[in-house]
Amino acid sequence: MGARNLMSHAITVDDLPPSTAEFVRGEGRARGLADVLADVTHGLRTDEETMNRESRGGPTSDRYVVEMLLTPELLIVAHRQSDDAETDPGARVRFHPLDQLEVTLPTAGPRLAMPARSIPVTSTPLGGARRATYQLPIAIDADVDRFREALLQAAQAARA
């Protein structure tokens, strides 16, 4: 069994590595969108590191980066395994239209012995074939609370 370390903090478009920003813009263009980063109002980055114990060769570590960027019309979620989308062939980005996005809030009760470590969103991303729930990883932080509140307000405004 391994350990999991999450760190989240607010970001702006200027905080994205240049190759990641271009990757996100390119994926947006491929879906017929104008510059998807032009209208970002809020951003959140989560760095996740998992330590795995190996029987031979010692422990290993995996690092994942998730950036969530909010515009008045979209939630943009970029995933990659390194700081540079150019060096991660598995990097991906999803564009979730806010007018059909559902955000699940944690509920009080005995099941929540520990604080929530994700923001569950249900959506059919642009170019996606079906509606699904995505668990966006987060740490417990004031920046996360501000982002979640902005996301809820933006989704509500888009549906109105």
Walking along the chain (160 residues) 10 residues at a time, the average pLDDT comes out as 77 92 94 94 90 68 88 94 70 93 68 62 89 86 90 92
Predicted local confidence at residue 88, as pLDDT: 75
pTM, 2 dp: 0.84
Residue 85's pLDDT is 60
> What distance, in Å, lies between the first and last C-alpha atoms of the chain?
45
pLDDT of the residue at 81? 84
pLDDT for the residue numbered 117: 77
pLDDT score of 61: 72
User: How far is the C-alpha of 73 from the C-alpha of 40, rounded, in Å?
Assistant: 10
| Domains, the chain, ordered by start | 3-159 (2.30.29)
- Name every residue whose Cβ is closer than 8 Å to that of residue 130 and which is 6 or more positions away in sequence: 124
